[in-house]
Structure 1
Amino acid sequence: MATTTLSRLKAEQIKPMIGSCILNTKEELLSGELTGAINELLEQRGVLVFKQLHFTDDEQIAFTNALGGNATEIGYQNKAVFPISLDRRINQEAVEYLKGSLFWHIDGTMNDVPVRGSILTSKVLPTWGGNTEFANCYAAYDDLPEETKARIEGLRVVHTMWASQLYHTPEPTLKQLSDWQTRGQGKRELPLVWKHKSGRKSLVLGNTAQYVIGLEPEESACILHGLREVATSEPYHYSHEWEVGDSVMWDNTGTLHRAMPYDPDCGRLLHRTILQGDEPFA
């Protein structure tokens, strides 16, 4: 019987500070033999792009499991594959939740252990817009001036899910606000600077970040918005323009992401699986 030796992981850098495009075949990726190299590169680069793989749901689940385990969606149990769409004909139950995805965020800020990453596969393109953007919060932290690092070291931030909803509905009814707060999994106090078990540090930002504990509202807002502005600026930013069949994976523990606006009724659809978290916020 002939034996096949898989080549090593083949990747091309997209931008100096963020993103790599993986060039291996689907068969090589699904073999499991590249798992260690993929996970290592994901932490280094923040975002990995797999062009025109055309994963089936079963293949995407298998790939996610090989990389460390497929977690079910927060608040949507028993869904190994989650449809990402603002079209109510596709995803009626989650449209309000998904509106928050149009603004910079990290998934799982309400969890003790956030998801390690996510994989999206494009199924239906929008009629306009709909790119997914990413920002490398490891690299952004590394490049901060030392005086800024000293200023923010040790700061703690309150995160709530309902704060993220105010981005798309800034004047909610009392009923809407109460519903968000009831379903929003409470609040969490998280570090502004996360020191990972690897020793690297990243910024914990996004639309769930409500205020910095112990600071006046004005100073708190300036810190959170100012750091987000830095982290999402050109050196650390990548925008993926989707083609049907593309898959994109990102390191959720050190990468912000958001969807760009698109026609919510156009049927745009991506299928998401999420990588089981293995490191609590610290």
Structure 2
Amino acid sequence: MATAIESRLGLRHEPIKPSIASRVLNPKEELLSGDLGPAIRELLEERGVLVFPEIGFDDAEQIAFTETLGKYAPEGKGDGPTKITLDAKESASAEYLKGSLYWHIDGTMNDVPILASLLSCKVPSPKGTGNTGFCNTYAAWDALPAERKAELSGLRAIHAVWPTLFYYEPEPPAAKIKGMASVGENELPLVWKHQSGRESLVIGCTTQRIIGKEPVESAIIIHGLREWATREEFSYSHEWSVGDLVMWDNTGTMHRAEAYDPTCGRMMHRTKLEGEEPFE
């Protein structure tokens, strides 16, 4: 479907879907200049996901671009982008990243989650696999009926790393559960009232239970909201090409990697923007 190209403060972009995702069309040199940073930030908050098709940033350029948008948050011991792959030969985090195949928000174990992630494609998986899915948790909340919002407002949930284990390993050894549980738990609002005045859902595979609800009711709320938020009208699945960069607002979206063969060589490089707003 053809879409109109819009421009704001020199930023050229077009919507991909009505409720989520826009494609940014400026060339590399304009993006790296830093002049477009404020407009990109504004568009990101509005659209949730921004796609820079085949922009071809190398690692240094990706870091430089990230720094035009906010404070770059390095991961681990290195200063460069983080390798994202399920191939254990390439990443020491491959086992942990199995949880990324299920809908989640990054940083639910922190009081202040990261603002955004930027993912660039170095090696895609075979076509039809390995997409990255996104859903707009602002739009999903806005579309709920008023009576349902009244029922959910004020509820709080316990988040932890260990519940993600059961998504990909239904009968894990007790030692593995104990190890993941050692990370701890975090109590968060089910509905995030942002400093901007907007509200979004805080859900995903780290959500262990709703405080004050019986287990069955708690599960129905958590998984019912996931089903709602990931409906077609709130979601976008990005099929990767070499050189693509996609960034998403971690404070107003959920995301997941879609299944692919861990041995296929799929490789992404990730940078992050440091968080600026607590969940509360």
| AA matched with 1:142 | D
Determine if the alignment matches structure 1 residue 142 to structure 2 residue 142: yes
Aligned residues: 272
Task: Give me the TM-score of the superposition, normalised by structure 1.
Answer: 0.94
CA contact (8 A) 1:159 1:210 kept: yes
**22, 25, 44: which is aligned to 2:24?**
22
Task: Give me the TM-score of the superposition, normalised by structure 2.
Answer: 0.95
**225, 228, 236: which is aligned to 1:227?**
225
- Shift, 1:78, TM fit: 3.7
CA contact (8 A) 2:9 2:39 kept: no
Unaligned 5+ runs, structure 2: 1-7
Determine if the alignment matches structure 1 residue 113 to structure 2 residue 112: yes
- Shift, 1:79, TM fit: 4.6
CA contact (8 A) 1:81 1:272 kept: yes
CA contact (8 A) 1:71 1:80 kept: no
Quick one: distance in 1 between partners of 2:195 and 2:82? 29
CA contact (8 A) 2:158 2:186 kept: yes
- Shift, 1:80, TM fit: 3.8
- Shift, 1:110, TM fit: 0.5
Q: Which residue of 1 aligns with 2:96?
A: 97
Q: Which residue of 1 aligns with 2:181?
A: 181
**42, 57, 68: which is aligned to 1:40?**
42
Q: Secondary structure at the match of 2:55?
A: coil
Runs of 4 or more, structure 1, over 4 Å off, are none
Quick one: distance in 2 between partners of 1:63 and 1:114? 20
CA RMSD of aligned residues (A): 1.2
Unaligned 5+ runs, structure 1: 1-5
Quick one: distance in 2 between partners of 1:256 and 1:244? 23
| Alignment map for 1:6-85 (pairs within 5 Å) | 8-73=10-75, 76-85=76-85
Percent sequence identity is 57
Quick one: distance in 2 between partners of 1:274 and 1:166? 27
CA contact (8 A) 2:59 2:80 kept: no
CA contact (8 A) 1:90 1:267 kept: no
| AA matched with 1:56 | D
Quick one: distance in 2 between partners of 1:147 and 1:262? 40
Quick one: distance in 1 between partners of 2:44 and 2:21? 9
